[in-house]
Amino acid sequence: MSDYEYLLSNINSLNGIGNKTSKLFKKKNINTIFDLLWSRPEGFIDRSKITKLNQLQIGKIQTVIVNVKKYNFPRKRNLPNRVFCDDETGSLDCVFFNSYEGYIKKILPIGSLVTISGKIGFYKNKYQITNPTHISSDKNAVKKIHSKYNLTDGLTEKKYNKIITDVLKKVPDLNEWHEKNICKIFDNISWKESVLELHKPQNIKKDGKFLRRLIFDEIFATLLINSKVRYNINKSKKKEKNFNEKVCIDNVINKIGFKLTNDQVKAINEINKDLKSNKKMFRLLQGDVGSGKTIVSLVTSLNVINSGYQVSFMAPTEILAKQHYTLAKKIFENDINIQLLTGKTEYKIKRTIIEDLKNNKIQILIGTHSLFQEKIIYNNLGLVIIDEQHKFGVRQRKNLSDKGGKSCDVLVMSATPIPRTMVMTVFGDMDVSIIKEKPKNRKDIKTYSKVENNIKDVINFVKKEVGKDNQVFWVCPLIEESKKVDHQSSIERYKHLKKFFNSNVGLLHGSLSNDEKNEILNNFLNKKIKILVSTTIIEVGIDFPNANLIIIENANKFGLSQLHQLRGRVGRGNKESACILIFKSTLSENAKKRIKILKNTNDGFEISEEDMKLRGYGDLLGFKQSGIPNFRLADPVLNEDLFLIAEKEIKRIKFEDENFSKYMKLLKLYDRADILSDLV
Ligand code: ADP
Ligand code: MG
């Protein structure tokens, strides 16, 4: 067996690991010996100090040296065996459940002096240690500091430690995969040494070179695979698109009645350059809520259509798809055939759409996920636009690009500001255009917080706003406990508000029919309804410029970025806007800190960065659930410098060996190779 085969072998090939134990490890995402080796201990247990019995502290793990005095074996079910012990300062019982007398007599012979370590309990006025596992007549065998791992039920500390100790004795010396100058950054510490250091208890809190090197390896392997995906996509050359950009832009501007911001123009130019090149575009258009990404994507669509291709525009929700459709209709009027396709489109209409699409009679198809069903076949797809999507893995990215065929460019839009290191991880080395500047007429949104008890004040505030002909969103979070009736809280709030506002209140939630939803949204748009009570289905993208107040109930259910997104539903017109966050009770210190960030800035990029610092990156965008390989050691916020070094190094390698053949083994180790095998 080669060293690599050994490292990648299943842990049940190790002594002492059967199927049961390997299942427990699997729960911790540890499948191979390699996985085991780079799972960092989370703390350490210090059994090195001897404590006198009159100094014991309940609940702590302590080590004592005691005389074994007497046994008590009750021989009744459910009653534990006991061993009475003492030292010159006090006494202590060792308590054994489900144990054999013979075993106890062997490890704790009467009259002997033994060293015992365990968690100190207290029962019927006496100190005790229950089921002690660390016992020896040789005090040096017990007096140790050892690492503590994240265990799951059924996996004992002793077992884990035994396994890891055995494995650490056999770590192979692998050939160095990095160049000399990279190794130097980490003081030339080898992979093997780094792993050994990682598991030493005295290193738990240390952020040494050994750790940096292992983190770097993880980042490097991940970015390398992304780069490979990119390389494969780029290998197939596309036909350059050909269009007159000025005509397109003028056409659109005439219809919308405002001037594009500088950043919008810049983004359009960057995209045009991609469209006109023979490399497939894969570009992320990032811009805070309300920065005007939709117009950019519509101008782009027109360019693509004018060069003879079809466009497919996907939104995450039906409501948003509908809104984009309406806007596209308005801008393109009758020049272009635009259709809407969602899961709820009638069968007859859908059939016509499928036919027309095949025959190139439709130029833009706007819709939800249904746009990518197998039976939807485009005649000549030139651009896929995906709005408000930040949960793409490398694999999806490739599928998408395949769907479009040879000449298809891809534009992904997201309002959730993602730090560059994260973009590198999640999207690969995709190109990014950023719209930082908001349209000039935007005013800052004032943000307030209120405790639920004071809801009367909030209602009074709403009354005043409605009196001024303003419109209000009132958001109630989903209740997770009952998925079926997750709109419960919104229904109750709706009924409650009706008492004050009569027919001025409307209710929008996920279980309404399409027609009902449309009617309510139209009524809100036409100002027949002043207050729209809703679940978070309004979270992404929706655009109602007349709304200038948003109330968010049970606000601690949301992450900061999500609150910022919700808040971004208002402040789009010329009016002063506000956001009121309602909390069930007073806030914890941490929650207060987070809300303060939200109050202090309207800049989504800043908010997301601060939030990430407080919560860790994985949580933020729901990446943990979205099937994207998460890092075990690396953190895109804390290890930014290592990301940049890895990026630079990969660029250099690409120049010399575009297949990265030297690094295949490394990729295999880091379990990124499966993605690669998909590609060839
Ligand atoms: P987002 O980037 O969040 O998707 P939208 O594209 O929905 O933002 O735009 C938000 C609002 O701003 C829309 O009402 C849109 O018409 C308007 N808008 C877009 N660009 C400009 C601009 N340059 N000047 C003024 N208003 C604009
Ligand atoms: Mg949008």
Distance (Å, whole) CA 127 – CA 173? 48
Query: Which of 58-62, 133-137, 163-167, 541-545 is predicted with the least confidence, judged by mean pLDDT?
Result: 541-545
Residues 6 or more apart whose CB falls under 8 angstroms from that of 253 comprise 259, 260
**Number of structural domains in the chain:** 2
Phi, psi of 513 (to 5 degrees): -75, 165
Pull the structure tokens for residue 374: 């197998």
Q: What does the alpha-carbon distance between residue 638 and residue 633 come to, in Å, rounded to a whole number?
A: 11
For CA atoms 494, 498, 502, 504, the dihedral sign is negative
Integer Cα distance of 289 and 561 in angstroms: 11
Interhelix angle 293-306/318-332, nearest 10 degrees:
60
Cα–Cα distance between 656 and 675 in angstroms, integer?
22
Q: Which of 25-39, 45-59, 266-280 has the lowest mean pLDDT?
A: 25-39
Rounded CA gap, 53 and 120, in Å? Answer: 10
Beta carbon of 426 within 6 Å of any ligand 1 atom = no
SS3 243: coil
Q: What is the number of the ligand 1 atom nearest to the C-alpha of 296?
A: 6
Query: Is any atom of ligand 1 closer than 6 Å to the C-beta of 416?
Result: no
**315 within ligand 1 shell (Cβ under 6 A):** no
Which pLDDT score is estimated for 514?
Answer: 74
pLDDT the model gives residue 81: 94
Find the 541 Cα to ligand 1 centroid distance in Å: 10
Q: What is the CATH number of the domain that holds 69?
A: 2.40.50.140
Q: Which domain holds residue 523?
A: 446-601
Domain assignment present for residue 111? The answer is yes
Burial of 590 (0-12, 13-18, 19+ CB in 10 A): exposed
* pLDDT of 278: 92
What is the distance in A from the centroid of ligand 1 to the CA of 47? 63
Q: Which of 116, 143, 170 is the last residue of a domain?
A: 143
437 lines ligand 1 (CB under 6 A): no
Ligand 2 center from residue 324 Cα (angstroms): 9
Residue 487 belongs to a domain:
yes
What phi and psi values does residue 669 have, to the nearest 5 degrees?
Answer: -55, -45
In angstroms, the first-to-last Cα distance of the chain is: 26
Q: What is the mean pLDDT of residues 204-216?
A: 89
Instruction: Verify whether ligand 1 is closer than 6 Å to residue 118 (CB atom).
Output: no
Q: Residue 575 in contact with residue 470, Cβ under 8 Å?
A: yes
Q: Is the separation of the CB atoms in 199 and 161 below 8 Å? A: no
Task: Indicate which ligand has the atom closest to the C-alpha of 569.
Answer: 1
Q: How far is CA 207 from CA 171, 362, 616, 617, 639, in A?
A: 22, 58, 17, 19, 11
Nearest ligand, CA 255: 1
* Nearest ligand atom owner, CA of 570: 1
Asked whether 287 lines ligand 1 (CB < 6 A), one says yes
Strands 126-130 and 113-123: antiparallel
* d(C-alpha 584, C-alpha 166), whole Å: 51
Spatial contact of 486 and 478, defined as CB atoms under 8 Å apart: yes
Phi, psi dihedrals of residue 577, rounded to the nearest 5°: -125, 155
Residue type, 561: S
Percent of all residues in the chain with a pLDDT value above 70, rounded to a whole number: 90
Looking at every residue in the chain, the average pLDDT score rounds to 85
| CA-based max dimension of the chain | 100
At 660, the amino acid letter reads F
CATH for 465? 3.40.50.300
Decide which of 555, 574, 601 is a domain's last residue: 601
Q: What confidence tier does 177 reach under pLDDT thresholds 50, 70, 90?
A: very high
pLDDT the model gives residue 541: 62
Q: What is the pLDDT of residue 678?
A: 46
Separation CA 527–CA 468 (nearest Å): 12
What would the DSSP string read from start to end of 253-319?
A: HHHH-SPPPHHHHHHHHHHHHHHHSSSPPEEEEEE-TTS-HHHHHHHHHHHHHHTT-EEEEE-SSHH
> Is the model's pLDDT at 673 over the cut of 80?
no
**Is residue 101 classed as helix, strand or coil in its secondary structure?**
helix
- Look at residue 401 in the predicted model and tell me its pLDDT: 62
Does the beta carbon of 97 lie inside 6 Å of ligand 1? no
Q: What residue owns the CA closest to ligand 1's atom 23? A: 260
Q: Which of 213-217, 360-364, 466-470 has the weakest average pLDDT? A: 466-470
Q: Is the CB of 603 under 6 A from ligand 1?
A: no
Give residue 343's identity as a one-letter amino acid code. Answer: G
Residue nearest to atom 9 of ligand 1 (CA): 292
Distance CA 274, CA 166 (A): 54
Top pLDDT among 436 and 672 is at 436
CA of 541 to the centre of ligand 2 (A): 4
List pLDDT tens digits, range 99-134: 889 999 999 999 999 999 999 999 999 999 999 989
Pocket probe mutation, ligand 1, options 249, 261, 291, 570, max atoms within 8 Å of Cβ:
291
CA distance 531 to 544: 12
Q: Is residue 354 part of a domain?
A: no
Mean pLDDT of 416-428: 70
Q: What is the whole-number distance in angstroms between the Cα of residue 290 and the centre of ligand 1?
A: 5
Q: pLDDT digit string (tens) for 404-414?
A: 677 889 898 98
**Radius of gyration from C-alpha coordinates of the chain:** 31
Instruction: Please give the structure tokens belonging to residue 534.
Output: 């809703």
Handedness of CA 298, 304, 310, 314 (dihedral sign): negative
Q: How confident is the model at residue 395, as a pLDDT?
A: 55
Q: What is residue 672's predicted lDDT score, i.e. its pLDDT?
A: 55
Residue 307 CA to residue 277 CA, distance in Å, equals 13
Token reading at 516: 């009902």
Q: Does 260 sit in the ligand 1 pocket, CB within 6 Å?
A: yes
CA 80 to chain CA mean position, Å: 47
Q: Which ligand sits closest to the CA of 544? A: 1
Instruction: Report which protein residue has its CA nearest ligand 1's atom 25.
Output: 439
Of the candidates 94, 118, 143, which is a domain's last residue?
143
What distance in angstroms lies between residue 584's CA and the mean position of ligand 2's atoms? 30
In whole angstroms, what separates CA 650 from the centre of its chain? Answer: 25
pLDDT confidence of residue 485: 52
Q: What is the pLDDT at residue 390?
A: 57
For 22, residues 6+ apart whose C-beta sits below 8 A from its C-beta are 10, 11, 12
* pLDDT tens profile 139-158: 998 898 888 888 887 888 88
User: Looking at the predicted structure, is the pLDDT value of residue 627 above 70?
Assistant: no
Ligand 1 center to residue 364 CA distance, Å? 20
Alpha-carbon span 243 to 618, nearest angstrom: 41
pLDDT bin (cut points 50, 70, 90) of residue 358 is very high
Distance, in Å, from the CA atom of 89 to the CA atom of 56, rounded to the nearest integer, reads 11
Question: How far apart, in Å, are the Cα atoms of 329 and each of 256, 294, 316, 332, 337?
Answer: 12, 13, 19, 5, 9
pLDDT of residue 388 exceeding 50:
yes
pLDDT at res. 555: 85
- In 3D space, the residue among 455, 415, 406 whose CA is nearest the CA of residue 436 turns out to be 415
In the structure encoding, which two tokens stand for residue 334, read together? Answer: 């009758």
Q: Is 564 in the pocket of ligand 1 (CB under 6 A)?
A: no
Q: Is the model's pLDDT at 609 over the cut of 50?
A: yes
Confidence of residue 207 (pLDDT cuts 50, 70, 90): confident
Rounded CA gap, 359 and 285, in Å? 30
CA of 296 to the centre of ligand 2 (A): 10
CB 444 within 8 A of CB 288: no
With a 6 A CB cut-off, is 268 part of the ligand 1 pocket? no
Instruction: Please state which of the ranges 40-44, 223-227, 521-525 shows the lowest mean pLDDT.
Output: 223-227
User: Cα(77) to centroid of ligand 2, in Å?
Assistant: 67
Q: Which ligand 1 atom sits nearest the alpha carbon of residue 568?
A: 3
* Ligand 1 pocket member 291 (CB < 6 A): yes
Cα separation, 501 vs 529, whole angstroms: 10
In a domain, 538, yes or no: yes
In a domain? residue 483: yes
What DSSP state is assigned to residue 528? Answer: S
The answer, yes or no, to whether any atom of ligand 1 lies below 6 A from the CB of 531, is no
> Which ligand 1 atom is nearest residue 259's CA?
23
Pocket test for ligand 1, best of 297, 327, 331, 543 (most atoms within 8 A of CB): 543
Residue 412, in any domain of the structure: no
Would you say the CB of residue 47 lies under 6 angstroms from ligand 1? no
Q: Which atom of ligand 1 is nearest to the CA of 261?
A: 23
Tokens of 387: 């709005």
Q: Answer yes or no: is the C-beta of 573 below 6 A from any ligand 1 atom.
A: no
Q: Residue 660 — left, alpha, or beta (φ > 0 → left; ψ -120 to 50 → alpha)? A: left
